[in-house]
């Protein structure tokens, strides 16, 4: 082979696949809700690393649980029973307060969705799935097939692995599309990437009823909106809907990669030996951090904080370029009167990291659950300074 390899010493070559647009900041450490940058700035993190940093940074209990577990037993496979894995499953089901009887641990949100869909096909013996317009479910073959807009942008597989359809959001009449051929409906009760768009109790309860009529399984993708982000254990609790399955990730591990599929008794009874599998899912370090996250959510009253500060944010931050609000708890969509990207840039210049969404008007906030009113006041001040006007920041 005579191919010329790029020089590793060239600073322009970092060998990372160039698939992610990069924010103009280099983070070297973080504490609480604050990021510290290489050029010595402090940045208020209202984005939480795509909704992951629920407990904030350098959380003592989480760090202790992770390091102690790493010392005690850093890995054993699912072929070996582990008390820490069992405790994590028990804690997660109890935390949910919902009717689940089985948990399958995996590594990422997309993987949790793949397994949920597999269970839906196994149980119903049907081959079609519906999702919602503007929903996001991950980038793997099945999860990507159900992600709105993926086909034209990045799906990358020659065909979808099953029949796929999309329902318009909050459209009660369109629920009639769900029929006895529909294995499952996969839905984010509060859409994250779609702009913190809350589907609401009326729609989700009607969706539950239609699924019951047609024998269709209802899967809530709570990868982003779950684990307390809406101020309740899951958005399912907030909207009074019991889904057949919930998938969750992100905040579940607070930065340690892990995910879970929670199954109702009806789904759980269809799980047979060897039907699902994973090497790293349910690993001891994942189990330890899941326990630590639930300890913190319960012991530090973080759900109450999410509800209180989320409400304060809603009341105080519809100023400057922000003309409306959607979302729940600390999954907040600030609807802007000018492109959200402009507002995002202007906030970063003022030391605040927010998020955007697939809706160009919506600035998406996914802060740690330890956010306080004083941080919201700082955001309000920056929004007032930015103002409703033109492109200037």
Q: Residue numbers of the site for ligand PLP (CB under 6 A)? A: 50, 108-110, 113, 136-138, 188, 192-193, 221, 223-224, 249
Minimum CB separation from ligand PLP for residue 65, in Å? 21
DSSP code at position 355: B
Separation of alpha carbons 118 and 121, rounded Å? 5
- CB-CB contact of 259 with 227 (8 Å): no
Of the pair 111, 291, the CB lying nearest ligand PLP is at: 111
Of the pair 108, 232, the CB lying nearest ligand PLP is at: 108
Minimum CB separation from ligand PLP for residue 208, in Å? 19
Of the pair 102, 108, the CB lying nearest ligand PLP is at: 108
Of the pair 107, 375, the CB lying nearest ligand PLP is at: 107
Question: First and final CA of the chain: distance in angstroms?
Answer: 52
Residue with tokens 């577990």: 69
Angle between helices 60-72 and 284-299 (to 10 degrees): 160
Minimum CB separation from ligand PLP for residue 60, in Å? 25
Separation of alpha carbons 336 and 125, rounded Å? 45
Minimum CB separation from ligand PLP for residue 147, in Å? 8
Angle between helices 83-96 and 284-299 (to 10 degrees): 40
Of the pair 162, 220, the CB lying nearest ligand PLP is at: 220
Q: How many CB atoms lie within 10 A of CB 280?
A: 17
Minimum CB separation from ligand PLP for residue 167, in Å? 16
Separation of alpha carbons 21 and 167, rounded Å? 30
Q: Own/partner pairs for 309-313, CB < 8 Å, 24+ apart?
A: 309/371, 309/372, 309/373, 309/376, 310/231, 312/373, 312/376, 313/365, 313/376, 313/379
Of the pair 106, 383, the CB lying nearest ligand PLP is at: 106
Of the pair 193, 309, the CB lying nearest ligand PLP is at: 193
- The residue of the chain with the least Cβ separation from ligand PLP equals 109
Strand (E) or helix (H) holding 30: strand 27-31
Residue with tokens 């599309």: 177
Of the pair 50, 87, the CB lying nearest ligand PLP is at: 50
Minimum CB separation from ligand PLP for residue 219, in Å? 11
Of the pair 132, 370, the CB lying nearest ligand PLP is at: 132
Q: Which residues of 99-112 are buried (b: 16+ CB within 10 A; e: fewer)?
A: ebebbbbbbbbbbb
Compute the 3-state secondary structure of the chain and give helix, strand, coil in percent, each to the nearest 5: 35, 20, 45
Minimum CB separation from ligand PLP for residue 222, in Å? 8
Separation of alpha carbons 314 and 380, rounded Å? 11
State whether residue 51 is helix, strand or coil: helix
Of the pair 193, 238, the CB lying nearest ligand PLP is at: 193
Minimum CB separation from ligand PLP for residue 223, in Å? 4
Separation of alpha carbons 122 and 315, rounded Å? 46
Minimum CB separation from ligand PLP for residue 55, in Å? 18
- CB-CB contact of 188 with 142 (8 Å): no
Minimum CB separation from ligand PLP for residue 42, in Å? 26
């Amino acid at each position: 082979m005579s191919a010329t390899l790029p020089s590793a010493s060239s600073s322009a070559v970092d060998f990372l696949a160039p698939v992610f647009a990069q924010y103009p900041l280099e983070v070297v450490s973080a504490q609480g809700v604050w990021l510290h940058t290489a050029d010595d700035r402090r940045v208020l993190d209202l984005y939480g690393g795509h909704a992951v940093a629920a407990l904030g940074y350098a959380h003592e209990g989480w760090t202790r649980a992770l390091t102690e577990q790493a010392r005690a037993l850093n890995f054993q496979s699912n072929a070996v029973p582990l008390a820490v894995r069992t405790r994590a499953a028990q804690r997660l089901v109890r935390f949910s307060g919902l009717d689940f009887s089985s948990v399958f641990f995996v590594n990422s949100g997309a993987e949790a969705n793949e397994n949920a869909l597999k269970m839906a096909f196994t149980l119903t013996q049907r081959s079609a799935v519906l999702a919602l317009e503007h929903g996001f479910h991950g980038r793997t073959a099945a999860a990507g097939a159900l992600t709105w807009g993926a086909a034209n942008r990045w799906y990358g597989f020659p065909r979808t692995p099953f029949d796929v359809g999309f329902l318009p959001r909050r459209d009660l009449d369109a629920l009639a599309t769900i029929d006895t051929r529909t294995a499952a409906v996969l839905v984010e009760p509060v859409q994250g990437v779609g702009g913190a768009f809350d589907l609401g109790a009326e729609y989700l309860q009607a969706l539950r009823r239609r699924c019951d009529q047609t024998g269709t399984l209802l899967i809530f993708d709570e990868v982003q909106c779950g684990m307390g982000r809406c101020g309740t254990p899951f958005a399912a609790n907030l909207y009074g809907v019991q889904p057949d399955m919930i998938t969750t990730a992100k905040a579940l591990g607070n930065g340690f990669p892990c995910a879970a599929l929670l199954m109702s008794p009806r789904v759980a009874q269809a799980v047979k030996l060897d039907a699902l599998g994973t090497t790293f899912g349910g690993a001891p370090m994942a189990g330890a951090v899941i326990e630590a996250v639930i300890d913190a959510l319960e012991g530090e009253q973080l759900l109450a904080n999410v509800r209180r500060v989320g409400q304060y944010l809603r009341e105080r931050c519809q100023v400057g370029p922000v003309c409306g609000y959607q979302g729940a708890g600390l999954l907040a969509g600030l609807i802007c009167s000018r492109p959200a990207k402009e507002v995002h840039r202007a906030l970063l210049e003022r030391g605040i990291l927010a998020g955007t969404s697939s809706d160009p008007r919506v600035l998406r906030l996914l802060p740690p659950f330890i956010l306080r009113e004083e941080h919201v006041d700082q955001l309000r001040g920056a929004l007032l300074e930015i103002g409703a006007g033109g492109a200037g920041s």
